[in-house]
Amino acid sequence: MRARAVRVVEAMRHPARVLLLALVPVLLLGGAASARGELSTTTTVAAHRTAPLETFTFVGGGDIALTGDADPHVFDGIRGYLREGDLVVGNLEGTLTTGGVPKCSGGAGCFTFRGSPAWAAVLRRAGFNVLNVANNHALDYGVEGQRETLTSLRDAGLLEQGLPGQVLHVSLRDIRIALIGCAPYGWAQSLLDIAASARLVRNAARAADVVIVYMHAGAEGSDADHVADADETYLGESRGNSRAFAHAMIRAGADLVFGSGPHVLRGIEWYRKRLVVYSLGNLAGTHTLSTAGSLGASALLRATLDARGNFRNASVVPLRLAPAGTPVVDTRAEVTTRIRALSHADFGVRAVRVSATGRLAAPTTLTSGRRASRGRQGRRLASGCGRRAC
């Protein structure tokens, strides 16, 4: 049953270039619906056997914590990379509101982020078209603050992901993409309830060609750069087992898992022919997030996937954060070297290869076995092989 649906216009790449998004279900209960309201037929099987598959480029970044009045220049250093993407996603770590009641008074270990609603337009002009709101700061100013934040995003032409039970469907060049945001909090799709999130992914996969999961997971700080195969905590709060969660989402049908939350770089894993990016650090702030040492290292992911969710190519854009939190391109090799080292340390033979220029490639020593097809639609099954084995 579709609980709520809205008709929106999705702006991709540049504000002037827009694609009509036929029907976007923003909250699904007990099932999934396609962006067009119906599943594709099998009438184009022959064409899809011979014609090259369409592709799209995902650009993903980490935490964005904005406060005060909007500054149109915060993203100037990375705007070109953002606007090259078709689907550009970041994690909005905070609120864009003038109201609400803060969750705390700013004592030890408690931080609240509130920026002007005008920041939404800055984010849109920078090149973002989707913001993840599944994180620990989404309710910094209560339900009222969250409500105004979501309104501000929508008024600026931005889409949001990460509410409980939410599957965001978008369409790009006839590729149907489902996005799901997860975090270990009651106001988000629960990262702690792996089984429930996996069901959501499976349902989404039946109606979409590609499924992307954004997870806000893991401990925080300069000593949180390794991915433990165990539950992680921060200040006594459960932050989930990001490795177990990511693997479960891919087994359920996700084609890319992208993470944020630790505020530092983490490794990148190749799991069942899919990328798992556990953290690329913070993306931007306004004197809100520490930039000291490893906390100032950041990156963007650029990943091109085809209409079956297959990996075509990917790279990381090394960044560093200026003291205020403004991201700029880092031409040194520290970021790529660090990601490569962390990947090998944590994932061994499943570590993604990272070149000196940031290009990502599958491990050469790992051969993945065949996988059963998800059976989404006839044109997927026409070739007689599973979509991950072909």
Question: Is the Cβ–Cβ distance between 113 and 66 less than 8 Å?
Answer: yes
Residue 43 has a pLDDT of 24
Nearest to 297 by CA among 268, 342, 327: 327
118-131 pLDDT, tens digit per residue, is 999 999 999 999 99
Residue 51 has a pLDDT of 57
DSSP per position, 42-60: STTHHHHHHSPPPEEEEEE
Split at pLDDT 50, 70, 90, the class of 52 is confident
Domains and CATH numbers, the chain: 2-39+54-381 (3.60.21.10)
Burial 300-322 (b: 16+ CB within 10 A, else e): bbbbbbbbbbbbeebbbbbbbbe
* Distance between CA atoms of residues 360 and 78, nearest Å: 20
55-73 pLDDT, tens digit per residue, is 999 999 999 999 999 999 9
* Both tokens assigned to 189: 């799709």
